[in-house]
């Protein structure tokens, strides 16, 4: 009888051949290839690279940035369009102010719908309505309708969604168990806000001067729609819609600590609005835009650096730093009168605003009830816009009635001090 054929046995390959198996067969040893899995790459050490290593984050950030850029274009574009067509900056300013006020009133309601039905289902129709409104406004200007028609058209079309808030809501959803990375994400979003604030008005002015007066409104509408479509299409990173019980609960306005925080945002907005008007009045020339952009540049740089810090600083410390640094433009204007020195002072002063906004937005996320995050952050943005409007009015009044335009720089310093005082007093009561 013949011996039975032995069962093939597998022995591990030698260390010199890590990707090969040796199989014993009746005909002798044979080599069988083995495909090894690639070792996992270590996580990036850069906190911003770790953010964009998450699946889907790059796509939603790109779409969101494209959609956010027109926010800084529409205001300047409409002002230039109406001023050139009607030869009235007063009318242009009134239409712009009407849109700002209407947007502040409608934004929380749009955000509540976003929380209830989801970002994609609400953001896209809201953006479409806003873009159609811009086109209607351009048409009204083209046929030179009465002023009240321009204002009504602007008010009715002020439905642009808070895309920055929706991006922050996505990060909060994706990083709910990683507070350090969420802090970095908030810093990135603040830097993105500053970048759009710098590029939007400049791009609008270039388009209106190089092409035609309505170019900024038309191209801005196209960017808003394109970016919103790209953003809404990223469903894998979209936070789920809130349950009806959460939507029917108390408003974020009633959350403990939220009213005081909104007062802080109101005063901080006054810093931005008054600094813009005071700088424009002091420079009074074509160099005003680049000089003013240095404040946003300083904030953008500081925001990115602040995002690399593992934890946020106390909000009161950020406000204290902002109060101190906001005195620099005042001193530069009053003591030197030099445009170059003022530009440097604005660059340094701007470095305090991003950490303040990042820390403040982080606290909004912490205080807002579950399922109402878009609404809570939109309330903060609304308070900020209200402060910008109030600060612009106060700074403009002081520039017109004070003995020197340098007195206008007193308003941002005072507003920063008020924001710090509100924070310190409310924390002591708590």
pLDDT per residue as tens digits for the range 279-325 = 878 877 667 667 777 888 888 888 888 888 766 778 899 999 999 99
pLDDT at 94: 78
Cα dist from 390 to 192, 271, 383, whole Å: 24, 10, 11
Task: Let me know if residue 50 belongs to a domain.
Answer: no
- pTM, full prediction: 0.73
CB atoms within 10 A of CB 245: 9
pLDDT at 247: 57
**Does residue 300 sit within a domain?**
yes
Q: Quick check: is 371 in a domain?
A: yes
Q: Does residue 39 lie in a domain region?
A: no
| Domain coverage including residue 24 | 1-33
pLDDT band at 258 (very low <50, low <70, confident <90, very high): confident
Sign of CA dihedral 326, 330, 333, 338: negative
Pick the more confident residue, 220 or 293: 220
Count of positions (residues) in the chain: 430
Number of domains in the chain: 3
What SS3 state is found at 2? coil
Tell me: do 71 and 177 sit in the same domain.
yes
Residues 203, 62 within the same domain: yes
Report whether 234 contacts 56 (CB < 8 A).
yes
For residue 333, what are the CA distances in angstroms to 279, 293, 316, 320, 339?
Answer: 9, 17, 27, 22, 8
Confidence of residue 40 (pLDDT cuts 50, 70, 90): low
Q: Based on the fold, state whether residues 136 and 258 are members of the same structural domain.
A: no
Q: What angle do CA 59, 64, 66 make, to 5 degrees?
A: 100
**Closest alpha carbon to 415 in 271, 316, 264:** 271
Does residue 40 lie within any of the structural domains? no
- Whether residues 260 and 192 share a domain: the answer is no
Contact between 108 and 216 (Cβ < 8 Å): no
**Pair 76, 224 in one domain:** yes
- Distances in Å between the alpha carbon of 21 and those of 8, 18, 214? 13, 8, 71
Supply the pLDDT for residue 300.
Answer: 83
Q: Are 218 and 129 in a shared domain?
A: yes
Alpha helices in 248-372 (DSSP H): 258-283, 288-307, 315-325, 327-331, 339-350, 353-367
Domain match, 363 and 428 both: yes
CATH number at residue 106: 1.20.1250.20
Q: Both 123 and 227 in a single domain?
A: yes
Question: Per-residue pLDDT averaged across 98-115, rounded?
Answer: 84
Residues 70 and 178 in one domain: yes
pLDDT band for 157, please (50, 70, 90 cuts): confident
> 10-14, 174-178, 261-265, 350-354: which has the minimum mean pLDDT?
10-14
Domain boundary among 192, 223, 241: 241
Residue 158 has pLDDT above 80, yes or no: yes
Q: Does residue 205 fall inside a structural domain?
A: yes
Residue 247: how many CB atoms within 10 A of its CB?
Answer: 16
Residue 47 lies in a domain: no
Where does a domain end: 241, 259, 293? 241
Mean pLDDT over each residue of the chain, to the nearest integer: 81
d(CA 141, CA 86): 8
Distance CA 257, CA 270 (A): 21
Looking at residue 16, its pLDDT comes to 47
Q: Is residue 89 part of a domain?
A: yes
Within this chain, do residues 68 and 200 fall inside the same structural domain, yes or no? Answer: yes
In this structure, the answer to whether residues 182 and 198 fall within a common structural domain is yes
Indicate if 267 and 211 belong to the same structural domain.
no
- Best CA proximity match to 340, nearest among 283, 289, 380: 283
């Amino acid at each position: 009888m013949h011996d039975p054929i032995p069962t093939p046995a597998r022995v591990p390959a030698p260390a010199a051949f890590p990707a090969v198996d040796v199989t014993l067969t009746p005909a002798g040893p044979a080599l069988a290839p083995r495909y090894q899995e690639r070792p996992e790459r270590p996580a990036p050490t850069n906190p911003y690279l770790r953010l964009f290593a998450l699946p889907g984050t790059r796509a939603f950030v790109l779409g969101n940035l494209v959609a956010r850029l027109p926010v800084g274009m529409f205001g300047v574009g409409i002002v230039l369009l109406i001023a050139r067509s009607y030869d009235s900056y007063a009318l242009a300013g009134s239409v712009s102010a009407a849109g700002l006020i209407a947007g502040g009133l409608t934004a929380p309601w749009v955000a509540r719908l976003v929380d209830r039905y989801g970002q994609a289902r609400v953001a896209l129709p809201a953006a479409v309505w806003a873009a159609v409104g811009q086109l209607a406004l351009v048409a009204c200007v083209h046929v030179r309708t009465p002023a009240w028609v321009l204002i009504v058209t602007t008010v009715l079309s002020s439905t642009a969604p808070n895309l920055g808030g929706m991006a922050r809501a996505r990060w909060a959803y994706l990083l709910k168990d990683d507070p350090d990375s969420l802090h970095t994400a908030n810093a990135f979003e603040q830097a993105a806000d500053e970048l759009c604030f710098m590029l939007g008005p400049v791009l609008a002015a270039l388009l209106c001067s190089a092409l035609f007066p309505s170019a900024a409104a038309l191209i801005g509408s196209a960017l808003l729609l394109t970016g919103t479509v790209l953003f809404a299409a990223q469903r894998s990173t979209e936070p789920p819609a809130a349950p009806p019980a959460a939507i029917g609960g108390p408003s974020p306005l009633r959350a403990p600590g939220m009213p005081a925080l909104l007062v802080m945002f109101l005063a901080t907005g006054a810093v931005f609005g008054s600094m813009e008007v005071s700088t424009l009045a002091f420079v009074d020339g074509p160099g005003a835009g680049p000089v003013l952009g240095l404040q946003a540049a300083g904030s953008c740089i500081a925001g990115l650096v602040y995002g690399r810090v593992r934890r946020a600083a106390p909000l009161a410390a950020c406000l204290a730093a902002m109060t101190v640094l906001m005195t620099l433009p005042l001193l530069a204007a009053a003591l030197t009168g030099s445009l170059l020195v003022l530009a440097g002072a604005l660059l340094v002063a701007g470095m305090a605003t991003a950490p303040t906004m990042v820390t403040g937005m982080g606290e909004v996320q912490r205080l807002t009830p579950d399922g109402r995050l878009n609404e809570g952050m939109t309330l903060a943005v609304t308070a900020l816009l209200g402060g910008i409007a109030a600060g612009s009015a106060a700074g403009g009044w002081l520039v017109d009635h004070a003995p020197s335009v340098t007195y206008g720089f007193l308003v941002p310093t005072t507003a920063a001090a008020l924001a710090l005082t509100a924070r310190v007093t409310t924390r002591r009561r708590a």
